[in-house]
Amino acid sequence: MPSTSELLLMADRLRPRTQQREIGMSDLGSCRRRVGYKLAGTTPVNPSGSVQAAMGSAIHDMVADTIKALNLPGIVAEEEVRIAGLLGHFDREEPELMVDVKTTSARWLEHIKLHGPEHGHIWQVSCYAAARILQGRDIKRVRIDYLARDTGEEYQWPHAEGAPFNPRHVRDAFEWLEAVRSADVDMLPRDNEPDSVFCQGCPFGGPDGGICWEGYVPERHLRSVMFVEDPDAAKWADKLWETRQQIKALQDEEKKAKEVLDAIRPDGGGRVKAGVRTLDFRRNPRDPERFSLYFVAGA
Ligand code: SF4
């Protein structure tokens, strides 16, 4: 009998959106090689998908079904749109506002709160907004609702009112897509880690590397395929050397900045506003004389 996660994966595979071969707005800013395979019409080799993606799909469906069932005034859920031939399905439109929903982990949510959304997410919601504006709808702002699957925490980027719609994001998205479209698929970067959930669930990847990582050195890391494609050991050794030098230089700079900021540390530790950022000086539990310095996410 299938396990619960297998049933979830089956359900996700049966969704029309999962079966969609055509590239769509949700592909914008994602792995360039994956988009390249899709553009080339490459046959998928890995049907497995990911449980995380299936959970995300279930949440999207539930929200859309609820909006439709309650017939909430002023809210339109999950409609198909196109802009310059690119297909998309927006999550929901509220008065003057386009909202996209993303499920994530609590750990990645902290990253988003600190560093902002990935550009692909902003491109996607901006393209939905642009498509609706072209249909005559009055969309002035965009918002991304991030929902942590493990804690249930919700974070609305940038805040409940949303950010002003900026057509520059739509232009940037189409420039990115054009760059991917014009490149040979074999030259496109593999933008994810082979053992990541993205590659494991990718239609062109999977546990054995799929067609994306095929050709790697047997019994070695999947990434060794990059050496097979470019067997210049000296070049790769230089790259490692230079990267380590950069890391060392950055660590030195980080140490200096922390030492300088020790000037504003409250005696017992605590939070201090510094420009647009908030710093958190925390006492080291193992060595109470020392403090660690963190940035406060979303503050
Ligand atoms: S397997 Fe990973 S790197 Fe390769 S196309 Fe898929 S997501 Fe990109």
HEC string for the chain: CCCHHHHHHHHHHHCHHHHCCCCEHHHCCCCHHHHHHHHCCCCCCCCCCCHHHHHHHHHHHHHHHHHHHHCCCCCEEEEEEEECCEEEEEEEEECCEEEEEEEECHHHHHHHHHHCCCHHHHHHHHHHHHHHHHCCCCCCEEEEEEEECCCCCEEEECCCCCEECCHHHHHHHHHHHHHHHCCCHHHCCCCCCCCCHHHHCCCCCCCCCCCCCCCCCCCCCHHHHHHHHCCCHHHHHHHHHHHHHHHHHHHHHHHHHHHHHHHHCCCCCEEEEECCEEEEEEEECCEEEEEEEEECCCC
pLDDT band at residue 256 under the 50/70/90 scheme: very high
The residue with greater pLDDT, 265 or 49, is 265
Q: Ligand 1: which of 212, 214, 221, 223 to mutate, judged by most atoms within 8 Å of the beta carbon? A: 212
Q: What is the CATH number of domain 4-197?
A: 3.90.320
Residue ID of nearest Cα to ligand 1 atom 5: 34
pLDDT at 15: 81
- pLDDT exceeds 90 at position 252: yes
- pLDDT exceeds 80 at position 21: no
Give the residue-averaged pLDDT of 258-274: 96
Identify the residues whose C-beta falls under 6 Å from ligand 1.
31, 33-34, 190-192, 198-199, 202, 204-205, 210, 212
Cα–Cα dist 214/60, whole Å:
33
CA of 47 to the centre of ligand 1 (A): 14
Residue ID of nearest Cα to ligand 1 atom 2: 199
Neighbour-count burial of 186, counting CB atoms closer than 10 A to its CB (0-12 exposed, 13-18 middle, 19+ buried): exposed
Q: Determine how β-strand 86-94 pairs with β-strand 97-104.
A: antiparallel
Give the residue-averaged pLDDT of 126-137: 97
CA of 35 to the centre of ligand 1 (A): 9
pLDDT at 99: 98
pLDDT at 254: 97
Q: Quick one: which atom of ligand 1 is closest to the CA of 205?
A: 1
Q: Is the pTM of this model over 0.95?
A: no
pLDDT band at residue 299 under the 50/70/90 scheme: low
Give the residue-averaged pLDDT of 133-139: 96
Residue 293 CA: distances (Å) to CA of 83, 86, 134, 289, 296: 45, 44, 47, 13, 10
CA of 198 to the centre of ligand 1 (A): 7
Residue ID of nearest Cα to ligand 1 atom 3: 190
Of the chain, the percentage scoring pLDDT greater than 70 comes to 99
CA of 186 to the centre of ligand 1 (A): 12
Residue the block writes with tokens 């719609």 = 165
CA of 177 to the centre of ligand 1 (A): 16
- Name the amino acid, one letter, at 52: Q
CA of 45 to the centre of ligand 1 (A): 12
Q: Quick one: which atom of ligand 1 is closest to the CA of 36?
A: 5
- pLDDT exceeds 90 at position 14: no
Average pLDDT of the chain, as a whole number: 94
Q: What is the pLDDT of residues 186-222, one digit of tens each?
A: 999 999 999 998 999 899 999 889 999 999 999 999 9
Q: What is the pLDDT of residues 77-119, one digit of tens each?
A: 989 999 999 999 999 999 999 999 999 999 999 999 999 999 9
Q: Quick one: which atom of ligand 1 is closest to the CA of 212?
A: 4
Q: What is the pLDDT of residues 154-167, one digit of tens each?
A: 999 999 999 999 99
